[in-house]
Amino acid sequence: MLLGSGPIVIGQAAEFDYSGTQACKVLREEGYEIVLVNSNPATIMTDPEFADATYVEPLLPGPVAQVIEKERPDALLPTLGGGTALNLARILHEDGTLERHGVELIGADYDAIARAEDRDLFRETMHGAGLRVPRSAIATTLAEAEAARDDIGLPVIVRPAFTLGGWGGGVATTPAQFREVVSRGLAASPIGQVLLDESVLGWGEFELEVMRDRNDNVVIVCSIENLDPMGVHTGDSVCVAPQQTLSDRQYQRLRDQAIAAIRAVGVETGGSNVQFAVNPATDEIVVIEMNPRVSRSSALASKATGFPIAKIAARLAVGYALEEIDNDITRRTPASFEPAIDYTVVKWPRFAFEKFPGIDPELTTHMKSVGEAMAIGRTFQQAFAKALRSRELDAPARLEGLGLDELLDRASTAGPDRFDIVLEALRRGADREDLHARTSIDPWFLRELAELAADPEAPFAGTRTYKAVDTCAAEFEAQTPYFYSSWERSGASEVRRGENPSVVILGAGPNRIGQGIEFDYCCVHAAMEVRASGREAVMVNCNPETVSTDYDTSDRLYFEPLTLEDVLGVLEVERPEGVIVTFGGQTPLKLAAALAEAGAPLLGTSVESIDLAEDRGRFSGLLAQLGLQAPPYATAHGIDEALARAPEVGFPLLVRPSYVLGGRAMEIVYDLDGLADYLFRHAAANGDGKAIFLDRFLENAIEVDVDALCDGERAYVGGVMQHVEEAGIHSGDSACVLPPHSLGEEMLAALHEQTRAIALGLGVVGLLNVQYAVHGDRLYVIEANPRASRTVPFVSKATGVPLAKLACRIMLGAKIDELDLPPESRPLGHVSVKEAVLPFDRFAGTDPLMGPEMRSTGEVMGVAPDFPAAFAKAQAAAGAQLPATGTVFITVTDTDKPAASTVAAQFHDLGFRVVATSGTAQAISRMGVPVTTLNKLGEGSPHVVDWIENGDVDMVINTPVGTGARVDGYEIRSAAVARGIPCITTLSGGIAAARAIAAARHGDPEVLSLQEIHARVDGVGAPA
Amino acid sequence: MSGYVLLEDGTRLDGDVCAARRPVTGEVVFNTAMSGYQEAVTDPSYAGQILIFTAPHVGNYGVSAEAMESDRVHARAAIMRAAVNQEDAPCAERGWLDWLEDCDVPAITGVDTRALVRHIRDRGAMRGGVFPDSVPEAEARALIDAEPPMAGRDLAREVTPGEAIVLEPLGAGPAPGVGPRIVAIDTGIKTSIVTNLRKRGAVVELHPCSATAEELLARDADAYFLANGPGDPAALDHIVGTVRELVGKRPVFGICLGHQLLCRAVGLETFKLPFGHRGSNHPVKDLTTGRIEITSQNHGFAVLGPDGARTMDTDDPVRWDTDFGAAELTHLNLYDRTVEGLTLLDVPGSTVQYHPEAGPGPHDALYLFDRFLEAIRAAA
């Protein structure tokens, strides 16, 4: 049994899909039957073909125990699913589940997990091995912490035990800060424990990726050095591999200590990463932490070196020794070696602070980035510059207006744009010693950056050549073609292209909000299908976390930024038969027109059709021609025109700038004042005559997403999803249900018919996603995207029809008639719910409120025989386990008050105590439902937030009034998020929750594998 | 200043000359280690060779006295992709390029070292040179042709000391005169080897490689050590003859060239590897324990296995018949399955081809020094 890591959240991203998928592949090769549990439908590992039994179930002890009971696995391998899987394994050991069912824990045993994860035990273990760790203390109360502070001295680093990515921790430099951070950390730790560490701020930060086999052979796969010194979470740091600034003598000491650490912790087989702080001036080394499992850094190290850590860890876990495993890349040397690399790798975190106004963008020990980009170059400058452009920022850092002194001041604090600032300061001649004093960045990096700042083009002088990643610095001939571009004085590319036709698939770049792992899933499916067609699949991508950048996924992998120039370079070498730009989200789609112009043979939907769908004027003409309705809209150029045209469209209005990803800067405004306020706040995005879109917002409409295939002549509706939240919540943040739970036959027929009309009208060849709003009995088309959508993996898992692969086959020339597709509207016999996972718990100070702007980082899926049970599973998987009983607090806007009483009645009937603030309470009691009235914030203690903070509320239903204003709602939602209490911000969500709680009373729903579900569905087996 | 690398087969790659700006020739070899550039160039085993660093960035942490593996630079020149001076690195005592220039060692940077390494990997190590653009290619070619090939070359004479040196134990070792006395034939010994022996309480005597067996036997040593060094072991029959006189008298331990010399002394053969082993990542299996160590390597020649095999097709401790009885394979290279170490079963002696002393490289094989010291104690 393998456990995945669940939804993509900050600190735990696609890297665990990569590692889990690799493990599934090799363990099946070895003849094992795989039982997999992961709640994230957007992963490749949960494709039914990767395991024998795939459970898309919440990663919680209950459901996992149910799966164990049903499947009776022989062993549990918990080291490939991040902290989630490891913690789950710990719980299943402690509660006796594993022992009861005779399940052996492999990869890392319980004691080793405890020695690495429990701070106190870890310190003891390191001391026992003769290694130094920062002075520290453990505290379980604030008083204990304050006593320890006097010994350690400020600044102190606070880390909660057993949390992901250092969540809930921070650095305290003043006594007041200390109290604040410790309190937060104690609340965040599931065992109510924090570790207080001596600050080693400013020391160099290094990580070593270590592997150990059953014969106690240990190798270091890769060293990673952070450009940001200690103090910034390693996930938020710009990193370079291999390490650059330590001498051999210093490096070998780290190597010795890493080996001593893995032995002492007792990870018997598999990978670990050990993190060190090194004081470059005194040579002091301290061990910071160790993960006894595959981690984010392991994914980076695997991609950086070509050494497939997860694959090898899985083989080691089932008893192989390193020397018995071949190095896939050379195919003639064993895996018991240390990769030698003759290039430089730079990783850049990708942040999304623009999505969360009001939060502090300072980088600390608390991880805040949402994704990462990696670049490979021969030299650091090549790699750094490529990584800079791989980030694909929505807008460059705005530094022109700042004086050098301001730049230097800002460089002193680590923020998301620190290196943009450092480069700009160096370009303007800042003194390197001064910068070093302010930032503690090693002089070698500063010298390299100064050269890059002086001439950003210099590293790219000469000829572009493609070189191979071969694990051995060219000592042996490489078999696995994994390439990067390098600029040299002369020279030929190492790519041996062969004669087979190839198809280039452009990936999605770094994960960010609005463009996540779903698109990588589609690209991987495209690669599989291209290979199945007898062509060679060629992947271009720059995201080290993903399955698409596994060299096994395609025939050739180019680890490159997804810019026009970089892609054209690859096309020149590849001379492909086709290029796929519609599977990787906006990143490759943005390049479509320019690539077509450069003569690239784009497959599937034409650039002309993409434009027809994206150009609002043309698209609305098409809808009119097809006789379909769309909400009234206008496009304005500039603020004045927007204000003038708004009344024609009618309020409420959905307003946004013309170029958006994930609903960036999109808001609903209810009147001219609101519009003016919006335009003023977003003047930068809307000024200079840039287009502003004004759409009539259909209040209380039901939103529907449809994913379809089209070959240009025939269309096939793959799935219809009804959103749980009403229109106005970004589709990426809304829960949705497949099949729709409350749409009539006629409406469903209309959805199918209109989708078909749009697909054919646009001339789609491949995938199409259409968003609709159902308002009363009328159907409105909101938008159509002729490309892979975020919901493709969910639909494919829910229905067993692999849409992305089928679309790829169509793009390669197949017709829908040849695809042997099941009937469109066949009964499924089960209901699937997709729920979004939001990162509000990581961003203190942001309003945990959904709206037209997408903010979720990931998603989960719940499958059950009916909607309420599926919804409950999805909620539990998303981390908001609904209470079985207790107190529900309801406070809603005036317009929602009539409906609020219905929700209140449902909770009352379920035996909940209903509490509300005065207005809502009045509405509820008018309908005869007993309710307790609580004070609002301004009405004195104990008020509603006191109730929540005291743990007297088990669930919050709060519908918002407007956005941005610091009203009660904000305080309420923040308090709920801080306590981990489910907080539902729509009434329809509240109703669904009540139904789910009622359903849960009938006992835990059965766990069903995707293979069983798909086999049950009429007329279809498991998808190929 | 522009310059170029030229190989004897006419291959030319351009770059920028740095450090000493004079033409230089030698055998062009590559090292895949990612750190330890100063240790590498001061390793006497690189005498006569021009060293390509496959790691692109060289010089990042400057140079320091601690990292010296001998008293001077022995490599003829360094070929690099992106060399820097970095005199301001936290532990640097001098910048890398400044120091090479002080030592009158030419270097070239900006070279597509990967293309060069791939060429050498495919065609084998060959002679070549580094030249400023002011040297016409025809002249450079003549200089390369004048460079003798490595096979058959006695370079030990060039790096051996003029007279014997005696070094006392280091640190908290036994009182003077108590620790074992190890007599080494210094064919270019690395400081790390000497340090490792002295740290274990040994008195180490370094003798010129011209020392005769009588002279060495007269030292009444507890053990003999055969050092690393440059050149072709087949050209060192004068030393091999000396070693032959020492075998069986006291425990002998050899490293690298010393391994080859001991093997030749007992009647085994050596051969030239296509492009050698140079780096810090070769896996070597200790057949006596089954453990794998990651090793530091620097050799262009190797010992033939039983029946003249260049590579071993089993992980078994196969045996040779030697002039001094049986020898057993103890260490095997898992990259190319060549001989990495053996032990003499009938007389006290063992050797390894690689570098347990590291400097640069991993410390996995330091246990071999303990084994040597134990063997000395056992024989006493």
Fold type of domain A204-341: D-amino Acid Aminotransferase; Chain A, domain 1 (3.30.470)
Among A708, A783, A791, CA closest to A518: A791
**Least confident piece of the model among A255-264, A402-411, A694-703:** A694-703
Residue in chain B lying closest to A223 (CA)? B34
Contact B61 A380 (CB under 8 A): no
Summarize the confidence of residues A181-201 as an average pLDDT.
Answer: 87
Q: How far apart are CA A980 and CA A50, in angstroms?
A: 34
Band the pLDDT of A660: cuts 50, 70, 90: low
Quick one: what percent of chain A has pLDDT higher than 90? 67
For residue B34, which residues of chain A lie inside 8 Å, CB to CB? 242, 340-341
Residue from A247, A382, A484 whose CB has the most chain B CBs within 10 Å, to mutate: A247
Q: Is B209 a catalytic residue?
A: no
Number of Cβ pairs closer than 8 Å across A and B? 161
Which of B35, B282, B294 has the CB atom closest to A248's CB atom?
Answer: B35
**Least confident piece of the model among A17-31, A365-379, A437-451, A939-953:** A939-953
Q: How far apart are CA B350 and CA A347, in angstroms?
A: 46
Chain B interface includes A217 (CB < 8 A): yes
Q: How far apart are CA A435 and CA A377, in angstroms?
A: 25
Min CA distance, A199 vs chain B (Å)? 20
pLDDT for res A429: 94
Contact A333 B335 (CB under 8 A): yes
Contact A474 B39 (CB under 8 A): no
Q: What is the pLDDT of residues A244-287, one digit of tens each?
A: 999 999 999 999 999 999 999 999 889 999 999 999 888 899 99
Q: Which residues contact A653 (CB under 8 A, 6 or more apart)?
A: A646, A668, A669, A675, A694, A695, A696, A697
Chain B interface includes A463 (CB < 8 A): no
* Model pTM score: 0.93
For residue A476, which residues of chain B lie inside 8 Å, CB to CB? 121, 335
**Least confident piece of the model among A238-247, A410-419, B39-48:** A410-419
Band the pLDDT of A165: cuts 50, 70, 90: low
Residue in chain B lying closest to A332 (CA)? B335
pLDDT for res A729: 80
pLDDT for res A964: 37
Residue A187 has pLDDT above 50, yes or no: yes
Contact B117 A342 (CB under 8 A): yes
Chain B interface includes A326 (CB < 8 A): no
Residue A687 has pLDDT above 60, yes or no: no
For A28, counting Cβ atoms within 10 Å of its Cβ (0-12 exposed, 13-18 middle, 19+ buried), the class is middle
Is residue A463 within 8 Å of residue A493, measured between CB atoms?
no
Q: Is B27 a catalytic residue?
A: no
Which of B15, B81, B294 has the CB atom closest to A379's CB atom?
Answer: B81
pLDDT for res A166: 61
- Residue A160's beta-bridge partner residues? A194
Which of A337, A379, A443 has the CB atom closest to B294's CB atom?
Answer: A337
Q: How far apart are CA B368 and CA A207, in angstroms?
A: 29
State the architecture of A608-631+700-786 in CATH terms: 2-Layer Sandwich (3.30)
Class of domain A350-460: mainly alpha
Class of domain A842-864+866-1000: alpha beta
| SS3 at position A551 | coil
**Do A204-341 and A350-460 share a fold?**
no
Annotated catalytic residue, options B207, B259, B282, B355:
B355
pLDDT for res A1020: 44
Which of B67, B118, B280 has the CB atom closest to A474's CB atom?
Answer: B118
Q: What is the DSSP code string of B206-272?
A: EE-TT--HHHHHTT--SEEEE---SS-GGG-HHHHHHHHHHBTTB-EEEETHHHHHHHHHTT--EEE
Q: How far is CA B120 from CA A474, B30, B151, B310, in A?
A: 10, 8, 16, 20
Q: How far apart are CA A562 and CA A542, in angstroms?
A: 7
Residue type, A105: L
Min CA distance, B275 vs chain A (Å)? 9
pLDDT for res A18: 95
Residue extents of the structural domains in chain B: 2-146, 156-379
Q: Of the ranges A690-699, A833-842, B101-110, which is most confident?
A: B101-110
Which 432-451 residues of chain A touch chain B by CB within 8 A? 442-444, 447
Is residue A969 within 8 Å of residue A841, measured between CB atoms?
no
Q: Is B66 a catalytic residue?
A: no
State the architecture of B156-379 in CATH terms: 3-Layer(aba) Sandwich (3.40)
Higher pLDDT: A246 or A399? It is A246
Among A49, A64, A65, CA closest to A4: A64
Fold type of domain A463-605: Rossmann fold (3.40.50)
Residue from A475, A486, A487, A488 whose CB has the most chain B CBs within 10 Å, to mutate: A475
Q: What is the pLDDT of residues A29-73, one digit of tens each?
A: 999 999 999 999 999 999 999 999 999 999 999 999 999 999 999
Q: What is the pLDDT of residues A765-819, one digit of tens each?
A: 999 999 999 998 999 999 999 999 999 999 999 999 999 999 999 999 999 999 9
Annotated catalytic residue, options B256, B259, B282, B299:
B256
Domain over A636-684 is classified CATH 3.30.1490.20: yes
Evaluate the CA torsion angle A145, A177, A13, A269 in order and state its sign.
Answer: negative
Chain B interface includes A854 (CB < 8 A): no
Which 299-328 residues of chain B touch chain A by CB within 8 A? none
Contact B283 A334 (CB under 8 A): yes
User: ω before B169 within 30° of 0 (cis)?
Assistant: no
- pLDDT, chain A, mean: 91
Nearest 5°: CA angle at B355, between B349 and B361? 155
pLDDT for res A568: 98
pLDDT for res A282: 84
Residue A26 has pLDDT above 50, yes or no: yes
For residue A340, which residues of chain B lie inside 8 Å, CB to CB? 32-34, 54-55, 279-281
pLDDT for res A1023: 41
Q: How far is CA B82 from the centre of its chain?
A: 25
Contact A442 B282 (CB under 8 A): no
| CATH of B2-146 among 3.40.50.1980, 3.40.1180.10, 3.40.190.10, 3.50.30.20 | 3.50.30.20
Q: What is the pLDDT along chain B (380 residues), one digit of tens a residue?
A: 999 999 999 999 999 999 999 999 999 999 999 999 999 999 999 999 999 999 999 999 999 999 999 999 999 999 999 999 999 998 899 999 999 999 999 999 999 999 999 999 999 989 999 999 999 999 999 999 999 998 889 999 999 999 999 999 997 655 666 789 999 999 999 999 999 999 999 999 999 999 999 999 999 999 999 999 999 999 999 999 999 999 999 999 999 999 999 999 999 999 999 999 999 999 999 999 999 999 999 999 999 999 999 999 999 999 999 999 999 999 999 999 999 999 999 999 999 999 999 999 999 999 999 999 999 999 88
Fold type of domain A2-106: Rossmann fold (3.40.50)
Q: Using CA atoms in the order A1013, A1016, A1020, A1024, what is the torsion angle rounded to 10 degrees?
A: 40
Contact B86 A339 (CB under 8 A): no
**Least confident piece of the model among A119-123, A214-218, B202-206, B370-374:** A119-123
H or E, element range at A117: helix A110-117
Residue in chain A lying closest to B115 (CA)? A491
pLDDT for res A966: 38
